[in-house]
Structure formats: structure tokens, C-alpha cells
Chain A
Amino acid sequence: MAEVLVYVDHVDGAVRKPTLELLTLARRLGEPVAVHLGPNAADAAKTLGEYGATRVLAADAPEFADYLVVPKVDALQAAYDAVSPAAVLVPSSAEGKEIAARLAVRLGSGIVTDAVDLEAGDEGPVTTQSVFAAAFTTKSRITRGTPVITVKPNSATPEAAPAAGAVEELAVGFGDTATGTKVTSRTPRESTGRPELTEAAIVVSGGRGLNGAENFPLIEGLADSLGAAVGASRAAVDAGWYPHSHQVGQTGKSVSPQLYIATGISGAIQHRAGMQTSKTIVAINKDSEAPIFDLVDYGVVGDLFQVVPQLTEEIKARKG
């Protein structure tokens, strides 16, 4: 059976959820072979095997952390040469897309980014994408080379499918360009204790209607009552009310949770681009004409300073 390379996104060996989704999708095309770069491959391999990786090609070298992107491309290319896969799947993070882009150039292969679904087809994988702020759905095929596909988080439900997950050492020779861009310092983002925005099942976002940083605890309180991640519109981020890493939209994170709650957000096209594929959408806005109401399953026209506290209380009461 054909093998499919899956690039593993992990933090010190803790595999992030989008990778498990990729393994699940990869099984539609062939046998997943995971590529793990960096430390703690053995830990990661347990999880990767559980979700269907037959093999885990692992490499660790200081270059992966000390230089930007290219060492990882060299390694993924080494894995490609070793496996001759039917396709290469990479998570659609900012870095993932750059790795995939360079690999595609090197292989002379077509690339599809931000796939939200993928199936096997007679002439290779057929990918689904959501374009123009999710107003259209397209299906594409890669016509040249080995398909390189980046897949958005929350595109599939991870399904366990125990496989060997055997760790094999991957030999990587770094090229001249690998050490081109030095990472001179790295400050890890502090964990908020809340779910990761792109991976969360529920996202509660606040916009300009929040009227100040001091009111964001209102959003955090609602989020915590639901076990949700916190998002923000660009207006709120630009005003300095919430960190940019929480921005939802075209130039922020793209989210596709089961439930998205927009509070004090008008629903500009660039915001919609990042949340329109959410399964259930709820909005609280005092302007009944706000475009966000065109998207909602349930909307409340009202003052968020009244509605949100009541909602949070009621959720807590119902949860007991």
C-alpha cells in the first residue's frame, strides 16, 4: 500500500491535535508515516502510533530550533527521498505552509494550502478548500508531482487506529541555505490554561463593543464557563485590549469550532474569513443591522454588558 508522509506539529514531543487529524485523513490515501523533528520522538511515537502512524521517522538536531524553516524542509525532503510517498500532508500553520511551499518548489510538485477536507480520487487526492472568506467551496487536484497538501485545524475528527508507530532514525544532511536565517532569541508564549484557539471546540470572541481591555474578563468568564478559547477582532487587538495571538480573521487565526460566540463584533468580511466555517454561530450585538447576524444560528440584539453576565450565570447554574 502507498505511504503518506505526515509532518508532525508538536511541542517538546506533545503532539498537537491537528497532526492527529492529518493522520486520520492520511489513512484515506494510504499508510501514514509520521515525520518527527526535534526532541522526544519516543513520547510522540506512542500517540502517533495510536492514531495510525505505521512508522515514525525521527531526527533531532540543534539546527531545527536555531534556524528558520529551512532545516525542517531539508529533513522533510530526506523523509520524502526515503519513503517516495503518494502525498505529503502538513498542518496549515504559518510555519507549516512555508515548509510545504519550499518542499513543493524542490520537488516540482503542486501544492494546495488550507484544505478543509480530502479524499482519495482516481487520479490522486481531491482536496476541498473554502475560499473568498468561505463564500465558495472548491475541489482541486494536484496535477504535477507528488501532492503537497496543508490541512487546516479542525478539518477532521481524530480517530484512533492503532498501528506500530515504530521509531526509525532519519538521516538528514543540511544544505547551504539551512543556516541562512538565525533565530537569535525565542520567547515561548505563556499558556493561558485555556484551549488552543485553533483547536478549541468552542470559541468566545470579543470586539470593539467590549469598549476596553478592562472588560475582557467578561469574555474570559463566559469562555471559562464553557471550557472555551478566547478570540478577539482586529479592532480589539489594534486597540491593545487583547494580544494579537488571539485575533480571529484573515490576518489572525482561522477557526472552525463547533460553536463560535461573537460579542460586540460587527462581522466585517475579514473577520468572517476566519470564522465563517464554524458549525454553530451565535452573536450578541446591540445593532440589529450588524452583518454578523446574517451568519448566526442564534442572535441576541442587546447590550453585551447585560447579556453576557446573565448568560455566564445561567450556564453556571445549568452546569450546577
Chain B
Amino acid sequence: MSLRIVVCVKYVPDATGDRHFAEDRTTDRESVDGLLSELDEYAVEQALQIADSDGVDDAEITVLTVGPEDAKDALRKALSMGADKAVHVEDDDLHGTDALGTSYVLAKAIEKTGYDLVVCGMASTDGTMGVLPAMLAERLGVPQVTLLSEVSVADGKVTGRRDGDTATEQLEAPLPAVASVTDQSGEARYPSFKGIMAAKKKPVESLDLDDLDIEAEEVGLEGAWTKVEDVAERPPRAAGTVVDDEGEGGKQLAAFLAERKFV
């Protein structure tokens, strides 16, 4: 079975850096280094494993991102892990686009690219909404098979395990479909030296809003469905008491809890 896989990857500010907001209350992408969202590495990994699996011959993996110029770094990393080609949707008018807008742009780009299976991460590490995969499925009108800790493709079907809030579910849907995978799906591989070299020669297609027949007003900060009205740094927590355990640490802690009425 031949299989066209599109993996959606996001370029995000490093979570271990000091993340901030810009003047216009969008995520500040200048002050902190960006990288391929760690949670999307799992999506790339699962796509690679599906492409390599028995039921699939002749798979092609396209990695897709909507983001600023630097987002190319995220695409390069995914290519160096083993994806075949990349699509970068880049347009100044995209600045400030919210989840609904991003899902609209991604859906258009996925349709233009052609797909049997879309694989997403479980959430972006900056926005952490975890809504894009469901929105994509809704827009594309195909099944959503999301939050999988195990996934496989065979006989024109995608199956997987979803560890939900109250139960573990086994899911099954016909292709084409949108899947998302969690960080329980298995460690992502490191790019090999050979992979890094090969990635430099892999094609990266650039698309702008015109290419996707999207009007500037439909996206960006102006087109957003939500507006951030206020941003405040959380006041630092008042410095607490830290004691060294000299044999009575447990008792001291119990006294604190009693004082706070927890005991």
C-alpha cells in the first residue's frame, strides 16, 4: 500500500528559556531560541515507523509547518530525522494567527499537498491547546484518531490506543484520517550525521497565502477569533521557609501543615 503522510510540526520558543510576550501580546519569538516542538518529534517518529512498517510500501513523508522564516529550522530537523520533503507556509500576514486560523491554513496546505494520513503532536509546547488535530479533522471532513500512545497503519486503516481520562480505548478508522500521538508513543530518534547531510538536499517548498487562496483578513492578528486584552507576569511566589532536616524535618513539616489547617 502506498501512503502519503503529512506531519504537522510547530516551531516554538524553547520552554526552558525565559519566554515572554511581545508588545502586541503575541508570543515573543525573538528573545528565546526556537526549536522543533519536542512533542512534534514524536509525530515525526511515528510517521517514520509507519512508513517502515510491513503493511506499507512506498510511503512519502512531508513535514508541514506554518510559521516565521526561522521555522525552517524545525523542518530541517524533521528532514534530518528522515522525512522526505517539507512544506513551509510563510507570510507576514500570518503574524498573530490563532488556533482557528492556523487550522484553516494547515487544512488548505494539507489538501494542496495531498495526503492519506496526517500526523500531529499531542499539543504544542508553547500554546499547549491540543486542539489543532481535532480542528483539522473537522475541516478536512475525515476521521480523527487522536492522542494515541500506540499507532499503526495497515489495510487502509489506522488503529491505535488512546489512554483517556477514565478508560483506555482501542480506536480504528479508515484512511484518509488525522492522527495525533502522545509522548508515550516511544522516544524519537536522534538525527544521524548522514541524516543531517541528506536533509540539506531535500526539497523545502515555500507557500504564501496567495498560493493557498487565503485572504489576509481571514488570518493574522486582525482575523483572530480571540483577543488577548491583558498580559501580566505572575507575581513571584512569596519566598517560603526552607529547613534542613536535622532529624525533625517530618515533624516540622507536619506542624506547618497543621498551622495551614491541612491536618
List chain A positions with a Cβ less than 8 A from chain B. 11, 68-70, 73, 93-95, 97-102, 104-106, 109-114, 126, 130-145, 177, 180-189, 202, 226, 244-245, 250-251, 258-259, 269-270, 273, 280-282, 284, 288, 293-303, 306-315, 318-319
Contacts and interface: CB of A to CB of B under 8 A. Distances in A.
B227 interface: yes
Contacts of B137: 102
A259 B249 contact: no
Nearest to A201: B262
Nearest to A245: B163
Which of A93, A130, A269 counts the most B-chain CB atoms under 10 A from its CB?
A: A269
Contact of A139 (B16, B229, B250): B229
Given A183-B170, A269-B16, A301 B244 contact: yes
Which residue among A70, A98, A133 has the maximum number of chain B CB atoms within 10 Å of its CB? A98
Interface in B114-148: 122-123, 125-126, 128-135, 137-139, 141-147
A137 to B, nearest CB: 5
A20 B166 CA distance: 18
B227 A143 contact: yes
Nearest to B187: A238
B172 interface: yes
Contacts of A109: 225
Given A111-B100, A301-B245, A307 B228 contact: no
Contacts of A281: 237, 240
A43 B254 CA distance: 41
Interface residues of B, number: 84
Contacts of A114: 128-129
A186 B168 contact: yes
A102 B107 CA distance: 14
B49 interface: no
Given A100-B131, A140-B227, A314-B250, A319 B263 contact: yes
21 contacts: A97-B129, A101-B134, A110-B98, A110-B224, A110-B225, A113-B131, A114-B128, A135-B234, A143-B226, A177-B138, A181-B143, A181-B173, A184-B171, A186-B169, A187-B167, A259-B257, A295-B240, A301-B242, A312-B250, A318-B254, A318-B258
Contacts of A133: 15
Interface of B: 15-16, 19, 21, 25, 39, 98-100, 103, 122-123, 125-126, 128-135, 137-139, 141-147, 149, 159, 162-174, 177, 182-184, 224-234, 237-238, 240-245, 247-254, 256-258, 260, 262-263
A270 B251 contact: no
Nearest to A179: B143
B257 A132 contact: no
A101 B250 contact: no
Given A140-B229, A296-B240, A284 B164 contact: no
Given A180-B173, A298-B240, 9 more contacts: A111-B100, A112-B226, A138-B228, A140-B226, A142-B225, A244-B149, A270-B15, A288-B244, A315-B254
Contacts of B262: 202, 226, 258-259, 280
A73 B143 CA distance: 13
Which of A73, A100, A183, A300 has the most B CB atoms < 10 Å from its CB?
A300
Contacts, number: 261
Given A112-B226, A251-B182, A93 B165 contact: yes
Contacts of B98: 110
A296 B128 contact: no
A182 B184 CA distance: 22
Given A130-B234, A136-B233, A251-B122, A185 B165 contact: no
A69 B228 contact: no
Contacts of B126: 132
Given A139-B230, A187-B167, A280-B260, A269 B15 contact: yes
Given A136-B231, A140-B226, A251 B250 contact: no
Contacts of B138: 73, 101-102, 105-106, 177
Given A112-B226, A300-B245, A313-B250, A132 B134 contact: no
B225 A288 contact: no
Given A182-B173, A299-B242, A301-B244, A188 B134 contact: no
